[in-house]
Amino acid sequence: MRPSWTFAISIVLMITLLPAASAANRFVVAELYTAQNCPYCAIADPQLGQVYEANKGSMAVISFHPLEYSGERDPMGISSTQGRMQNYGVDGYPTVVFDGGEKIVGGYEDVGDDYRSALSSRSSVSAPLKLRIGVINDDPTLKVWVNGTPEEDIFNDTELSVVLVQDYVEYDGANGLDEFRFVARGMRTKDVSVLDGEAFSKTFTFTVDPWPENLGVVAFVQDIQTGEIYQGAQKTVSEAAGPIDGTEDKGSGSEGLSTTAMGMIGLIAVLAAVGVYLFMDGRRSRETRSKGKVKRASRPRKKPAVKKVPASSGKPRQRGKKGRSKKRKRHR
C-alpha cells in the first residue's frame, strides 16, 4: 500500500471518529414583572438593566407591566401579563424569571448579584435549537418571521412566542422612576415542534400605531408543560418607514451556520486537503521516475567485449581429422 493512500485513509478515519458538534449557545430570556407604582421595583429594575448592559448579545429582558396594580392604571400594561404571571405562580412585584425557571422575588440592595448568578447558571446550559429573527417594517405594519433549527428532540408540546419590546419609555412613575426599559408592547404565540433536523419557520404580523422609538423584537421557544424556555433571540427594528430589514440580530441564530452546515464545510475542506496531498504526491513520484530515466539515458554505453584472437604466425592451421587438406581419391 502506498504511503499516500495510508495518509488518506487515516484522514477519513479521523473524520468518522470526530465527536458530534456541540449544541447551540444559549440566549437567556429574563422576564421582569414590574409596575409603575411598585416602590421596590424602583430598586430592582435599574439593577437588572445594569446586568443586561454587561451581557448584551447573550440575554434579553422583557418587562411585563399589568393593566392595573393597587387600583392604579399602568399605561405600559398589556393583557398578556396576567396570564404569564399565573403560569409562573408570580404573585408580587418585582419578580424576575430566568428562562421560565428560576424566580428572584423582591427589590433589595444587592439583588443585582442574584441576577448575575442566575444568568451565569442558565448560560452554562446548552440549548437544543437555534433561532433567527427577520423583520420587515412597513409602517404601521411590522412583519416578523422566526426560523428555528432544532439540534435535539423535545417531545413535550412547545410554543414560539414573539414580543415587541420598547427599550426606553419616558414616564413619571408613582415609584419615582421617570424611565422604564424593555417594556412589552405586544405578544403573539404559535405552536411549534422541536425535532432534530426538522427546521421550522413562523410569521407574525403586528400593527404598530403610533410607531414607538427604540422598538425591538424578542422571540423564544418555551415548553408548555414545564414552562422552561429552551432558546431565545433578539432583534432591533429601524424606525425608518418602508420595507427594510432589521439590525443587530442577537441570539442563537446570529452566530453563523448550523451544525450540519459546519460539518459539511469541514468535511469538504478535509477532502480537498487529501486531494491536494495525493496530487502533489503523484507529481513527486512522476518527477522521481522521470529523473531516473534521464540519468539512465545519459550514461555512456559500454562497447561490446571482443575476444582477442592471437595473431597468425604465417603457418597454415592444421585442421581436424575430418578437415585435413590431403586430397582424397574419387571413384569415377
Can you list the positions of beta strands (E) in 76-128?
A: 95-98, 102-105
Q: Which pLDDT score, from 0 to 100, does residue 211 have?
A: 82
Between 25-34, 44-53, 131-140, 257-266, the lowest mean confidence (pLDDT) is in: 257-266
Q: What percent of the chain has pLDDT over 90?
A: 61
Spatial separation of the C-alpha atoms in residues 107 and 177, rounded to whole Å: 14
CA–CA gap between residue 5 and residue 274 (Å, rounded): 9
Instruction: List the single range of 205-219, 236-250, 258-272 with lowest mean pLDDT.
Output: 236-250
Residue 320 has pLDDT above 60, yes or no: no
Q: Hey, which of 20-34, 75-89, 239-253 has the most confident mean pLDDT?
A: 75-89
Mean pLDDT of 38-59: 97
pLDDT band, very low/low/confident/very high, at 19 (cuts 50, 70, 90) = very low
Would the pLDDT of 233 be above 60? yes
**Peptide bond between residue 243 and the one before it cis (omega within 30 degrees of 0):** no
123 or 24, greater pLDDT: 123
* 139 band by pLDDT with thresholds 50, 70 and 90: confident
- Local confidence band at 213 (pLDDT 50, 70, 90 cut-offs): confident
Whether the CB-CB separation of 24 and 129 falls below 8 Å is answered with: yes
Which residue type, as a one-letter code, is found at position 94?
P
Q: At 37, is the secondary structure helix, strand, or coil?
A: coil
Q: Which of 263, 318, 259 is nearest to 22 (CA)?
A: 259
pLDDT score, position 323: 46
Question: What is the maximum alpha-carbon separation in the chain?
Answer: 166
Bridge partners (DSSP) listed for residue 31: 62, 97
Q: Under a CB-based contact definition with an 8 Å cutoff, are residues 127 and 26 in contact? A: yes
CA–CA separation, 137 vs 243, rounded Å? Answer: 5
**Would you state the pLDDT for residue 308?**
55
Neighbour count for residue 309 (Cβ, 10 Å): 6
CB distance 131 to 77 below 8 Å: no
Structure pTM? 0.70
CA 295, 297, 298, 299 torsion-angle sign: positive
Check residue 326 and report its DSSP letter. P
The DSSP letter of residue 254 is: G
Q: Sorting pLDDT into bands at 50, 70 and 90, what band is 251?
A: low
Is residue 280 over pLDDT 90?
no
CB 230 within 8 A of CB 154: yes
CA distance linking residue 38 with residue 94, whole number of Å: 8
pLDDT band at 76 (very low <50, low <70, confident <90, very high): very high
User: Within a 10 A sphere around the Cβ of 8, how many other Cβ atoms?
Assistant: 18
Beta-carbon neighbour count of residue 67 at 10 Å?
13
pLDDT at 310: 54
Per the listing, cell 454587561 goes with 54
pLDDT, mean of residues 124-140: 93
